[in-house]
Structure 1
Amino acid sequence: MHNDVLGDIHIASRTLSKCEAIIGSILDKKALKRPGILAAHRLDAMDVEATKALIRQTKSQIVLNAGSAFLNMSVLRACIDVGVAYIDTAIHEDPTKVCETPPWYGNYEWTHREECERKGVTAVLGAGFDPGVVNAYAALAANAYFDRVDSIDIIDVNAGSHGRYFATNFDPEINFREFTGTVWSWQESQWTANKMFEVKRTDELPMVGSQTTYLTGHDEVHSLSANLDVPDIRFWMGFGEHYINVFTVLNNLGLLSEKPVVTAEGLEVVPLKVVKAVLPDPMSLAPNYKGKTFIGDLVKGVRDGVETELLVYNISDHEEAFAETNSQAISYTAGVPAIAAAMLIAKGDWDCHHMANVEELPPVPFIALLETLGLPTRVRDAKGDRAFDPGEFRQDRRQSARAGA
């Protein structure tokens, strides 16, 4: 829908038919703004040399890695070697390890920061919604609203229903891996360990009402804790009792393990991959999905000497997302921000020539662009609940405070 900004677009996957189906859908919806190349390619993105060759062949300048989190280091390596911009939507994961020692970015992506800086390669990490937009919300609050931020609570609730007995909204393997290890949060300026479903809260949220969420380990906590001077940063996700019950049974039976086992027939299988194989493909949920999602940052701190609370959030609708893109709102909220990031790089606003997490980049152009792409932001504070107005957040309060001092 924005090839007038992004130019020729190439889609690559190990499964060529997936790319061709996407292209067919785009053409059916007459979504291109101008004539241009929209091509499919078969690629194993774990093959760095093959990825480099495809980048060169297509003369691509920006690579958006929307694949599995297992691909990040391979695709990033290819981009650094060729000298093109890189974007991803989630943190890298080693398929043989679950929940490594924090900060997670320090284990993989950040080890390449110096090389990106030296070579002038733009690499924007975690440019989905969470991580991604919520990082921009946090930077917005810290830089242009509060004088001091005491806590950031990121809240993610899917209040929709897909009508299936049990399914995950994105890749089951990645989904379950998030919840089978230690829950790491940043509290009192240090890493704090909990178990999954051990800590919960209930909030009255716009549009989706009263929702119970659970303290969960998540990507953005691992960069925000390093990049913002905030003592408490936590991530909360909503789960229904049915999901918790099924998850608990599968986990207790060992069916969510990433470690191979040998069957009585001598076959070596990974239990988690078997569970993934028998669950519905998340893409298949989209046609019947109804309801809304809520994702936002509840930020508390001091503004003009007064303790203040700010909620910055987005509401998305599953049916509206499907009507526009043939995808449910979970995919929509993850994918649209990555396109916004690509557009900002193409226009120069985010072409920073080094590696950056989203909170290190200007948040206002990102949030304002998302408004035009179908992901409007709202804010709620003592003055009420209202649409995001960029004019409210232009001033860097931290710089003003330093100048005044």
Structure 2
Amino acid sequence: MKHNVLIIGAGGVGHVVAHKCAQNNELLGDIHIASRTLGKCHAIIESVHDKGSLQQPGQLQAHALDAMDVEATSALIRATRSDIVINVGAPFVNMSVLEACIQTGAAYLDTAIHEDPAKVCETPPWYANYEWKRRQACREAGVTAVLGVGFDPGVVNAYARYAVDHCFDRVDSIDIVDINAGSHGRYFATNFDPETNFREFTSTVWSWENNAWQANAMFERRKEWDMPVTGKTTCYLTGHDELHSMSQNLGVPDIRFWMSFGEHYINVFSVLKNLGLLSEQPVRTARGQTVVPLEVVKAVLPDPASLAPDYTGQTFIGDVVRGRKGGKPEEVLIYNVCDHAACFDEVGSQAISYTAGVPAVAAALLIADGTWDRGTMANVEDLDPRPFIALMNRMGLATRIRDAKGDRLLDPVTQVARKERVAVRANAQ
């Protein structure tokens, strides 16, 4: 049975999601793309056809939509007979789209946490402020809602769950490391929506340490990480979505998020912030116009999707997990490396968008085949990570694991099957 998909959002991640849905349309069926800007939807559809991404002949259709309008979104879900909604729009529309899914019974997926446009860095855990308040409504409606199923948040949550369940007797710490070792050749640009990007870094940095929330300032704590492919890179402690669910769900006392920043990015960011140009609060100009400084900065910066043709280099994202196994200390690294140029060759995107978009489609496939279709709300670490990791291995995001046994591909489904065959042979003997 095919499951029609409605993609909300036509930015860089929406571009990748559309291509990956097209590559799997034997199961996912008709693909609908909705955005305020209809032209962006048509451009994505043209790209899907140009790249020959359709697995088999199928429908791709563009729609104009204000996703803040719950009734309009519900009507579009019904009109397109969409079973799965992949929300990759601005984080401000999450709760509206989620409500439309609850009203219509469609499954809901997103890649980032909800935000109030007038608030930055609310009291943690952030999911408790919005999404988790609708958990009971999802359960009562039988609606599957998988929150934060990009890469970070998303895949890193699955890596953490896999490590907790299969690599350790006790996990003491998880450090999520996100390194972009690529170059786009522009003077200054952000790799995803500038407004969302800057809002992450303009206020308190929350981390989970000693089973409590720890507050720091941005760029206050730094650490050099030596990782496969990207090598030694300076990263900074950063607040991030996944900490706010993993801290509540995994029982691990220390969970931190580290992201790489070059000195040039830090300098430009600091100037913009100190001038007040990253403020989300409206100001009045000398001509009497009311503007939001952050929205003005977004308007003058390059569209992240436009960076793709010239992007070179790799990204690294992974979990460094420490704990004890068999009474001895153990460290495991579970990670992915993605190449910017390879992503552009395949779907016309850069690796930042690719790593966020592919997992959302993998999750849609797992809902469509029933594996993750739970009829309630879940964060990624609430779900079995093994089919998710195995599916992404085949979709372009291979997962590797480095531990005392070496560095190798992590293929949990094959490994489990192999163990079961060994057990059967042993019992037969």
* TM-align CA RMSD: 1.2
Q: Pick from 57, 60, 63 the counterpart of residue 38 of structure 1.
A: 60
1:383 Cα deviation from its structure 2 partner: 1.1
Structure 1 CA distance for aligned equivalents of residues 416 and 359 of structure 2: 20
Residue aligning to 1:340: 362
C-alpha offsets along residues 157-205 of structure 1, whole Å, 9 cap, x if unaligned?
0000000000000000000000001000000000000000000110110
Residue aligning to 1:264: 286
Q: Pick from 140, 144, 149 the counterpart of residue 127 of structure 1.
A: 149
Q: % of aligned pairs identical?
A: 68
Residue aligning to 2:14: none
Matches within 5 A, 1:7-86: 7-86=29-108
Structure 1 CA distance for aligned equivalents of residues 299 and 79 of structure 2: 34
1:357 aligned onto 2:379: yes
Residue aligning to 1:107: 129
Matches within 5 A, 1:254-403: 254-390=276-412, 391-392=414-415
Q: Is the 8 A contact 1:364 1:394 kept in 2?
A: no
Q: Kindly report structure 1 stretches of 4+ aligned residues shifted beyond 3 Å.
A: 391-395
SS, match of residue 219 in structure 1: coil
- CA separation of 1:258 and 1:393: change in aligned 2, threshold 3 A: farther
Residue aligning to 1:402: none
1:33 Cα deviation from its structure 2 partner: 1.2
Residue aligning to 1:155: 177
Q: Is the 8 A contact 1:140 1:393 kept in 2?
A: no
Residue type of the partner of 2:248? A
1:392 Cα deviation from its structure 2 partner: 4.6
* Structure 2 unaligned regions, length at least 5: 1-22, 419-429
Residue aligning to 1:138: 160
Q: Is the 8 A contact 1:287 1:326 kept in 2?
A: yes
* Structure 1 unaligned regions, length at least 5: 396-405
Residue aligning to 1:210: 232
Matches within 5 A, 1:185-264: 185-264=207-286
Structure 2 CA distance for aligned equivalents of residues 261 and 291 of structure 1: 39
SS, match of residue 324 in structure 1: helix
1:5 Cα deviation from its structure 2 partner: 1.3
Residue type of the partner of 2:203? G
Structure 2 CA distance for aligned equivalents of residues 394 and 139 of structure 1: 19
1:127 Cα deviation from its structure 2 partner: 0.5
Structure 2 CA distance for aligned equivalents of residues 393 and 236 of structure 1: 31
The count of aligned residue pairs is 396
Structure 2 CA distance for aligned equivalents of residues 265 and 32 of structure 1: 51
Residue type of the partner of 1:246? V
Structure 2 CA distance for aligned equivalents of residues 389 and 50 of structure 1: 42
Residue aligning to 1:400: none
The alignment's TM-score, normalised by the length of structure 1, stands at 0.96
SS, match of residue 368 in structure 1: helix
Structure 1 CA distance for aligned equivalents of residues 299 and 307 of structure 2: 15
Structure 2 CA distance for aligned equivalents of residues 224 and 44 of structure 1: 32
Structure 1 CA distance for aligned equivalents of residues 416 and 327 of structure 2: 18
Structure 2 CA distance for aligned equivalents of residues 350 and 195 of structure 1: 37
1:248 Cα deviation from its structure 2 partner: 0.5
Structure 2 CA distance for aligned equivalents of residues 172 and 388 of structure 1: 33
Structure 2 CA distance for aligned equivalents of residues 148 and 320 of structure 1: 38
C-alpha offsets along residues 275-330 of structure 1, whole Å, 9 cap, x if unaligned?
10111110110000000000000000011111000000000000000000110000
Structure 1 CA distance for aligned equivalents of residues 113 and 417 of structure 2: 30
Structure 2 CA distance for aligned equivalents of residues 181 and 346 of structure 1: 39
1:117 Cα deviation from its structure 2 partner: 1.1
Structure 2 CA distance for aligned equivalents of residues 341 and 364 of structure 1: 12
Structure 1 CA distance for aligned equivalents of residues 105 and 384 of structure 2: 23
Residue type of the partner of 2:316? F
1:389 Cα deviation from its structure 2 partner: 2.7
Q: Greater shift after overlay, 305-314 or 22-31?
A: 22-31
Q: Is the 8 A contact 1:153 1:297 kept in 2?
A: yes
Q: Is the 8 A contact 1:155 1:297 kept in 2?
A: yes
- CA separation of 1:357 and 1:393: change in aligned 2, threshold 3 A: farther
